[in-house]
Chain A
Amino acid sequence: MTYEAVIGLEVHVQLKTETKLFCGCRNEFGAEPNSHVCPVCLGLPGALPVPNEEAVIKTILTGLMMGSSIRARAKFDRKNYFYPDMPKNYQISQYDQPLCLEGGVNLPVLAFPKDAQKEEQALAGKRVRLVRIHLEEDVGKSFHLENCSGIDFNRAGTPLMEIVTEADLTTPEEAFALLTTIREILRYGKVSDVDMEKGQLRCDVNISVRPVGTEAFGTKREIKNLNSISAVRRALKHEIQTQIHLVSSGGTVVQQTLRWDDARGETIPMRTKEQAHDYRYFPDPDLLPIRTEGRLRTEAERRMPELPETKKGRLCQTYGLSEYQASVLASDPPLAEYFEEAARSTRHPLPLANLVLNDYLALRQEDPGQVPVPAEYLGELADLQSEGTLNSRQTREVLAILIQTPRPPKEIAKERGLTQISDSQVLEAFCREAISANPKSVADFKGGKSAAINALKGFVMKKTRGQANPQRIHELLESLLREP
């Protein structure tokens, strides 16, 4: 019997705000422990929470970007549980009236892990439906010491958005692609930096297995608090294998909450919260409901960006880029913007894209402290290359100078004497010289070794100090060698 996995995700995202969700303490990562706290986030008696409108707007914007329905009325509830990282003994969350319901995310091929991009699952263009998106407060951070635990409440009360998917996923690679896509959308909307190192995206996964073709769900197990996209893939792969092995050898899966040990590559059952699943939700009497129509929704709509999928499509259409080029540009919005600005001053957007994605990116990475090159210079450089004035080596040379001291590329090429020789008469003379100076290569070529022509090309490039148009030399040499 073959089995398939059924996977649903709960994705927690830290929102990019100046302050916490219900108080004016700073939302800052890496500060001294317990330096951003106040009576509200410490849960001191009598302190009253007031929601941060920026966090509400960012959650609505996320819903808009993911095609959710934005509820006209939303409210906050208390989720009761007892754990030292939550000083109030409840977490303010949203239970039955979240800000956003439903929606969905499409999985593009290039969001899949590289080794899976040629597989059917990546090419299927699957849509993963969302159940809801809600807003809640994050909990404090605990450090496990030898005899006790230490708590830092700087993170307690910071805005955390939770995106819950339907159990529409069937493979670890789909989960990977979904998270990659969500991350890109959130960055587009400037909702979160989604910095994994800082734990800004954390994920709980629910997994069950069932025989292929059956409808009923198997017993699910949950892996909590995965903090990188690749760890999600690894943990799922491990858990699916474990469950299939168990079920196919006659065992049963027991409902359990697990923790993933990435270093050891295994899941470990969590011992706490056995009973804590009874959260006794009830509406938080300290907080009024939120009405989203009007200013909140208008502001979210005003911030609606061009979405990654739309941008990729437009880049392909407008500039004739390949899907890969469009995706690389779209994954880096400032770079895409730079490219489009440069594209306004060139007649050759496709070579410009190559220039930006290969040479410019490489040089930028080598020297991050460089001055920005005005976009129109890059456009002009693409023209010089495409129209045969500069060959690719010379283009890179000009670009390197351009990055040091931005000036019109034409000027740089002239100063350095960098112009490509495309004049056929001049080139022909060099080619004839190459032929008479290299009788062996000529004989090899005529004897059927077509690669021998490279030695002749090299001769011409050397003589012209690299200024010859390689394409033209090749053509000229070929026709000269074919002469009887």
Chain B
Amino acid sequence: MEKSAFPFLPETDAFRYGYSVPTVAIDVAYVAGLARLRLSPEEIETFGNQLEQVLAYVKKLEEVDVQDVVLVGEEKGFQNRLRPDRALPELSTNEALENAPQRGSGLFLVPRILE
């Protein structure tokens, strides 16, 4: 197997020799549709392979023994991270609209939305 493009993954034997790397099927065309992305058949093929590889590596997490791992929020002394209901500084309308593709009457203008 080739040297990993994901150096943050552990260099275990299983990883190195690739004997238990699972495969994960992914319907790229469908997901691209949800994300409103237009992909060519070649791109679907390329991204499909790449994404499946990524997901296969992530799936390896299932092999980690998490029996003694405490869920976030379940650990002793856990404290909520909340904010009091008090106003903080805001952006000016002008600043907010600086990145807008188009603006008018203080609004972000976008291609017409269908209802």
Q: Which residues of A approach B to under 8 Å, CB–CB?
A: 17-19, 23-26, 32-39, 42, 50-56, 73, 75, 80-85, 142-145, 147-153, 259, 270-272, 275-276, 278, 280, 288-291, 296
Q: Which of B33, B91, B93 contacts A32 (CB 8 A)?
A: B93
Q: Which of B34, B73, B97 contacts A34 (CB 8 A)?
A: B97
Closest 8 CB pairs of A and B: A24-B88, A150-B107, A289-B73, A54-B85, A53-B82, A33-B106, A149-B113, A151-B108
- Measured between C-beta atoms, what is the minimum distance from B4 to chain A in Å? 23
The reply to whether B114 and A272 form a contact with Cβ atoms under 8 Å apart is yes
| A53-B82, A144-B112 as given contacts; A25 in contact with B87, CB under 8 Å | yes
The reply to whether B85 and A18 form a contact with Cβ atoms under 8 Å apart is yes
Chain B residue total in the interface (Cβ 8 A) = 37
CA distance A181 to B35 in the complex (A): 40
| A34-B93, A54-B85 as given contacts; A73 in contact with B73, CB under 8 Å | yes
B88: which A residues are within 8 A, CB to CB?
19, 23-25, 38
B78 sits at the interface (CB 8 A) = yes
Given A148-B102, A278-B34: 10 more A-B contacts, CB < 8 Å: A18-B85, A25-B90, A34-B96, A35-B92, A54-B84, A270-B115, A271-B114, A272-B114, A291-B73, A296-B80
A-B contact pairs, 12 of them (CB 8 A): A19-B85, A23-B88, A26-B87, A51-B83, A53-B82, A84-B108, A84-B110, A144-B113, A278-B34, A289-B72, A290-B73, A291-B80
- Interface centre among A83, A84, A147, by most chain B C-beta atoms within 10 angstroms, is A84
CA distance A34 to B111 in the complex (A): 18
The reply to whether B90 and A37 form a contact with Cβ atoms under 8 Å apart is yes
CA distance A148 to B72 in the complex (A): 44
B7 sits at the interface (CB 8 A) = no
The reply to whether B84 and A149 form a contact with Cβ atoms under 8 Å apart is no
| A19-B87, A275-B34 as given contacts; A50 in contact with B106, CB under 8 Å | no
The reply to whether B107 and A151 form a contact with Cβ atoms under 8 Å apart is yes
The reply to whether B108 and A153 form a contact with Cβ atoms under 8 Å apart is yes
- Measured between C-beta atoms, what is the minimum distance from A58 to chain B in Å? 10
CA distance A42 to B92 in the complex (A): 12
A288: which B residues are within 8 A, CB to CB?
72-73, 80-81
B51 sits at the interface (CB 8 A) = no
CA distance A25 to B87 in the complex (A): 6
The reply to whether B93 and A271 form a contact with Cβ atoms under 8 Å apart is no
The reply to whether B85 and A84 form a contact with Cβ atoms under 8 Å apart is no
Q: Which of B78, B83, B92, B114 contacts A53 (CB 8 A)?
A: B83
Give the nearest-CB partner of B95 in chain A.
Answer: A37
CA distance A414 to B107 in the complex (A): 65
A17: which B residues are within 8 A, CB to CB?
85
| A50-B82, A288-B73 as given contacts; A38 in contact with B113, CB under 8 Å | no
CA distance A327 to B59 in the complex (A): 59
Give the nearest-CB partner of A225 in chain B.
Answer: B115
Q: Which of B33, B87, B113 contacts A275 (CB 8 A)?
A: B33
